[in-house]
Structure 1
Amino acid sequence: MATASSSPPAVSGGSAATDSETLRKNQILSSKLYFDVPLTKVPVIYSSSYDIAFLGIEKLHPFDSSKWGRVRGFLIRDGVLDKKRTVEPVEASKDDLLVVHSESYLNSLKSSLNVSIIVEVPPVALLPNCLVQKKVLYPFRMQVGGTVLAAKLAKERGWAINLGGGFHHCSAESGGGFCVYADISLCIHYAFVRLNISRVMIIDLDAHQGNGHEMDFANDSRVYILDMYNPEIYPRDFVARRHINQRVEIVSGTRTDEYLKQLDKALEVAGHMFDPELVVYNAGTDILDGDPLGLLKVSPDGITSRDEKVFRFAKEKSIPIVMLTSGGYMKSSARVIADSIVNLSKKSLIDLEKAPVKI
């Protein structure tokens, strides 16, 4: 069932809130996450640092921790992407992360035990924190840098795809579900300040509810959240659900045709409810049939159709769009993502061959 509502404007908390906003603005303005990218590059963002591999521990988690590099590899081998033309981001620094996260939360990540709980790999708790920082948290901070930069590129080129990111279970004060940093929230706050954007739509089509960004933008009228998720699985965050503008609940076992029909209806409603200046699309592939955690039954072709519908929604309204790959817990996900990106290129919804024209 889909429901739609409008969030009230954010309420100021007085001088303390003003001071906090001033500090946040200054941190954003001094950040190095935004940088000029030559037009010879295409707005596909990736770093080899995204992929997580150390001591075989990553194999204990259901998530394919080399998915991001394999997506890029497929695109290169398919002849649709020149590896020299992809964009490499920079690592999000502590000051960058403090734009959203609290000092206390970031300090908690100095404990290997706390990190192991968030990424759901118990052996991580036994490792020295220096190794956890280098082999687990550094890759995530690189992906955060990619998500933040993607908004700038999308504004300039009309679209951008970060082959990582989409950590939608992480909020300012809490991580979970393999999500350590709130890259979606960071991306949007940077866009507010650096891109002079005041209205953002999050289209979250990962199988799981995006409770992190929902808590971060609770009652913030600048952000409209369309979340289409399976309510029967993690995180079952009923508090965060109150902050979803447009909730579309898809039960376990939902198949491709029904899923796409519900998406068509949802996008039509969203287009009437809100007029965004930027779309952040969380394109998880854990809706795939057979995914052990998503429990939906959408086909690979269904993923391709889903992504095409979202990109077409943005293009027809001339809205810049950022795509993040988010969840997807099978080895087959990387090939499905690559095939979908190829389709977007074939349908002229993105251009992987020449420098796009600013919209």
Structure 2
Amino acid sequence: MTSAPAAAASSSRTVARGPSDAETLRRNRILSSKLYFDVPPNKVPVIYSDSYNIAFLGIQKLHPFDSSKWGRICQFLMQDGVLDKIRIVEPLEASKDDLLVVHSELYLRSLESSINVSIIIEVPPVALLPNCLVQKKVLVPFRKQVGGSILAAKLAVERGWAINVGGGFHHCSADRGGGFCAYADITLCIQYAFVRLNISRVMILDLDAHQGNGHERDFSNDSRVYILDMYNCEIFPCDYEAKRYIDQKVELKSGTKTKDYLDKLDSALKVAKDVFDPELVIYNAGTDILDGDPLGQMKISPDGVTHRDEMVFRFAQDKKTPILMLTSGGYMKSSARVIADSIANLSTKSLIDLCSPQ
């Protein structure tokens, strides 16, 4: 982001100021990162690692989030013959330098405390564990998913689409985590895309049941990013400041049903299509909108989720814009099956291509 003109201290003339030291450092970190790497053509742009999954000492069962969801999505796709395991792309783990592109040293240091991590992921017993164990069993999986989200943008631009079977930590901003979100992967993904992909217009379609207050705060003054957020306004996080930064806000109530949901989405996408012309669409595809989800509190059917995802991918296809999908929230065991079925439907409808050359 370029600085505003500033008055020179030794002259009354106004001169254009170049990039600040912080901006130069951030750009250099992005350019030196190893997270963007060339993916062979025999791979499809579906990104996943077994390292995504969180499991240790049964503590993960104390949180409503299904921390093995990501692996089960891929298992279903492979069992159904939709996806070949050897076609999946494994990302690299985001390093500290990668994370410093957005996050401050102070925030990253705060994650070295088991107490702080336990607050962010909302599992109090984690505060009692040694930090080395918390890093390995909780934060490494998150950092691996961050690497997947960042790589997904590159693959989406190259192939037209990409799916990170993970990511979507939309409650985390540059200096604050929360709601099971420790790293701001959406913000990182976009900042990398600005520099490495030379794009300047990104649309975030956030259809998780919860308001995406993290990326909203991060891009509060950045006209390059257009945010459409459709969420249940009666539940967490109720971040009223962040709401001011949403370009297109669609607020729903608890108990919203499938037809009403899809009608509102259709109207919102029509507006978005006319008012912004993105070079990349980031789709935060939470399944916590499902009927029965204890945190989303809406009543959308599995078929409704499939239809929703199809609508979004058709939107991107109609605009001839690359799209990347993040799986985000979903707090029932059934979410993995629903996501796998939706991805299979996208393939059936030729909105994605899960077949690659041998």
Shorter chain as denominator, the TM-score bin is over 0.9
Q: Residue in 2 aligned with 1:259? A: 261
Report the RMSD for the aligned CA atoms in angstroms: 1.2
Distance 1:16 1:236, change over 3 A: farther
Q: How many residue pairs get matched?
A: 347
In the aligned structure 2, how far is the partner of 1:232 from the partner of 1:48? 35
Distance in 2, matches of 1:203 and 1:285, equals: 14
| Farther off after superposition, 11-20 or 104-113 | 11-20
Q: Is the 8 A contact 2:2 2:19 kept in 1?
A: no
- d(CA) in 2 for partners of 1:56 and 1:16? 52
Q: 1:10·1:220 contact (CA, 8 Å) conserved in 2?
A: no
Query: Out of 207, 210, 223, which is 1:221 matched to?
Result: 223
CA distance in 2, matches of 1:177, 1:30: 31
Residue in 2 that maps onto 1:308: 310
Contact kept? 1:24, 1:99, Cα under 8 Å = yes
**2:9 is matched with which residue?**
none
Asked whether the 8 Å contact 1:10–1:219 carries over to 2, the reply is: no
The gaps in structure 1 that reach 5 residues or longer are: 1-8
Contact 2:2 2:18 in 1 (8 A): no
Q: Say whether residues 1:85 and 2:87 are aligned partners.
A: yes
Q: What TM-score do the two structures reach when normalised by structure 2?
A: 0.95
CA contact (8 A) 1:61 1:120 kept: yes
The residue aligned with 2:13 is none
Asked if the contact 1:43/1:154 (under 8 Å) is kept, the reply is: yes
Residue of 166, 169, 186 corresponding to 2:168: 166
SS at match of 2:20: helix
2:281–2:321 CA contact under 8 A, matched in 1? yes
**Given that residues 201 and 279 in structure 1 are in contact (C-alpha distance below 8 angstroms), is that contact kept between their aligned partners in structure 2?**
yes
* Residues 151-197 of structure 1, C-alpha deviations (whole Å, 9 max, x = no match): 00000000000000000000000000000000000000000000001
Question: Which residue of 2 is the match for residue 294 of structure 1?
Answer: 296
Equivalent position of 1:249 in the other structure: 251
CA deviation string 1:37-56 (max 9, x = no partner): 00100000000000000000
State the secondary structure of the residue aligned to 1:178.
coil
For residue 153 of structure 1, what is the amino acid of its counterpart? L
What secondary structure is seen at the aligned counterpart in 1 of 2:142? helix
Q: Which is higher, the Rg of structure 1 or of structure 2?
A: 2
* Structure of greater relative contact order (alpha carbons < 8 Å, 6+ residues apart): 1
Residue 137 of structure 1 corresponds to 139
| Partner Cα separation in structure 1 for residue 237 and residue 203 of structure 2 | 22
Q: Which runs of 5+ in 2 are unaligned?
A: 7-16
Amino acid at match of 2:211: Q
Partner of 1:6 in structure 2? none
- 1:176 maps onto 2:199 in alignment: no
Give the alignment of 1:14-53 within 5 angstroms. Answer: 18-53=20-55
Q: CA deviation at 1:13?
A: 8.3
Q: CA deviation at 1:11?
A: 6.0
Residue 354 (structure 1) shift: 2.4
Residue 323 of structure 1: SS of its match in structure 2? strand
In structure 2, relative to structure 1, the CA distance for the partners of 1:292 and 1:336 (3 Å cut) is: same
Alignment match, 1:268: 270
Matched, 1:324 2:326: yes
The separation in 1 between residues aligned to 2:287 and 2:89, in whole angstroms, is 23
Q: Residues 3 and 18 of structure 2 are in contact (CA less than 8 Å); yes or no, is this contact kept in structure 1?
A: no
| Cα-to-partner distance string for 1:23-71 (whole Å, 9 max, x where unaligned) | 1110000000000000100000000000000000000000000000000
How far 1:20 moved relative to its partner?
Answer: 1.5
The aligned residue for residue 3 of structure 1 is none
Please name the residue that 2:11 is paired with: none
The answer on whether the counterparts of 1:63 and 1:329 sit within 8 Å (CA) in structure 2 is yes
